[in-house]
Amino acid sequence: MATILFADDEESIRFLYREEFEEAGYKVELAANGDEALEKFIAANPDLLVVDIKMPGMDGIELVRRVRELNAVVPVILCTAYGEYRQNLETWASDEYIVKSANLDGLFAKVAELLERCSVR
Ligand SMILES: [Mg+2]
């Protein structure tokens, strides 16, 4: 099963991601900030990243830029609150963009779609 690295500064959201995605059978790695995410990206070699844009210190946009220097192809889903960063063209350097919601159905669908596209089961 695929390994997913989630980077989000909100503990409750990390908890939710772990609960829901482990329940669905994924291997879950969590990071609370961009620096931790880079370390875990290198250590865990995840199949996909889910990245919060707004984090203190290194934000999600910068994190994706740094990840891309290491790996040009790993799929990245950027998450943010509704309306934020829509105008920021760099956002589109990620494969997908999703508006945060307590309902993870949309995120689950995008994860499955991207992993399928990359042939990770
Ligand atoms: Mg945040």
55 CA from centroid of ligand 1 (Å): 5
Tell me how far apart the terminal alpha carbons of the chain are, to the nearest angstrom.
6
Domain boundaries, the chain: 3-117
Name the residue with higher pLDDT: 30 or 102: 30
9 CA from centroid of ligand 1 (Å): 5
75 CA from centroid of ligand 1 (Å): 20
51 CA from centroid of ligand 1 (Å): 9
- pTM attached to this predicted model: 0.90
Phi, psi values for residue 58, rounded to 5°? -65, 120
Averaged pLDDT of the chain: 89
pLDDT of 100: 83
pLDDT at 97 over 80: no
79 CA from centroid of ligand 1 (Å): 9
State what percent of residues in the chain have pLDDT above 90. 69
> Residue range 1-29: average pLDDT?
97
pLDDT of 64: 92
Rounded CA gap, 30 and 112, in Å?
18
State what percent of residues in the chain have pLDDT above 70. 88
pLDDT of 81: 75
Please enumerate, as own/partner, the contacts of 108-117 that have beta carbons within 8 Å and a separation of 24 or more: 108/20, 108/24, 110/77, 111/4, 111/21, 111/26, 111/48, 111/50, 111/77, 114/48, 114/75, 114/77, 115/2, 115/47, 115/48, 115/75, 117/75
CATH architecture of 3-117: 3-Layer(aba) Sandwich (3.40)
pLDDT of 44: 97
35 CA from centroid of ligand 1 (Å): 14
pLDDT of 119: 74
Secondary structure element (H or E) that encloses residue 86, with its range = none
pLDDT at 121 over 60: no
